[in-house]
Amino acid sequence: MYDFSYHNPDSVAGAVSAMNKAEDGKFVAGGQTMLPTMKHRLASPSDIIVLGGIAELSGITVDGDSISIGAMTTHAEVAASSDVQAMIPALAALAANIGDPAVRNCGTIGGSVANNDPAADYPAAVIALGATVKTSKREISADDFFTGMFETALEEDELITAISFPKADAAAYMKFENPASRYAIVGVFVAKTGDDVRVGITGATPCAHRGMRLEGVLNSNFSGDALESVEIPVDKMNADIHASAEYRAHLVKVMTRRAVAACS
180 near other proteins (CB under 8 A): yes
Inter-axis angle of helices 245-263 and 212-220, nearest 10? 30
239 near other proteins (CB under 8 A): no
Say if CB 138 and CB 157 are below 8 A apart: no
Q: Characterize the bridge pairing of strands 60-63 and 66-70.
A: antiparallel
Q: Which residues lie below 8 Å from residue 216, measured CB to CB, with a gap of 6+?
A: none
Q: Using CB under 8 A, which of 20, 24, 36, 236 touches other proteins?
A: 36
Binding mask 102-131 for other proteins (x = CB under 8 A): xx-xx-------------------------
**Span near other proteins by CB under 8 A; candidates 98-106, 193-201, 243-251, 256-264:** 98-106
Say if CB 106 and CB 30 are below 8 A apart: yes
42 near other proteins (CB under 8 A): no
Q: Using CB under 8 A, which residues numbered 69 to 88 contact other proteins?
A: 76, 80
Judged by CB under 8 A, the number of residues near other proteins is 28
The smaller minimum CB distance to other proteins, of residues 80 and 226, is found at: 80
In whole angstroms, how close is the CB of 240 to other proteins at the nearest point?
18
37 near other proteins (CB under 8 A): no
In whole angstroms, how close is the CB of 102 to other proteins at the nearest point?
4
Cα(77)–Cα(152) distance, integer angstroms? 24
Q: Using CB under 8 A, which of 35, 62, 226, 262 touches other proteins?
A: 35
DSSP letter assigned to residue 152: E
Say if CB 95 and CB 104 are below 8 A apart: yes
> CA 40 from chain center: how many Å?
23
Q: Characterize the bridge pairing of strands 184-193 and 170-177.
A: antiparallel
**Span near other proteins by CB under 8 A; candidates 34-42, 114-122, 151-159, 220-228:** 34-42
The smaller minimum CB distance to other proteins, of residues 77 and 158, is found at: 77
Backbone angles phi, psi at 136, to 5 degrees: -70, -10
Say if CB 198 and CB 127 are below 8 A apart: yes
Backbone angles phi, psi at 73, to 5 degrees: -70, 130
Q: Characterize the bridge pairing of strands 146-148 and 47-50.
A: unpaired
31 near other proteins (CB under 8 A): yes
The smaller minimum CB distance to other proteins, of residues 38 and 185, is found at: 38
The smaller minimum CB distance to other proteins, of residues 114 and 142, is found at: 114
Residues that bind other proteins (CB under 8 A): 1-6, 8, 31-32, 35-36, 38-39, 48, 50, 52, 76, 80, 99-103, 105-106, 180-182
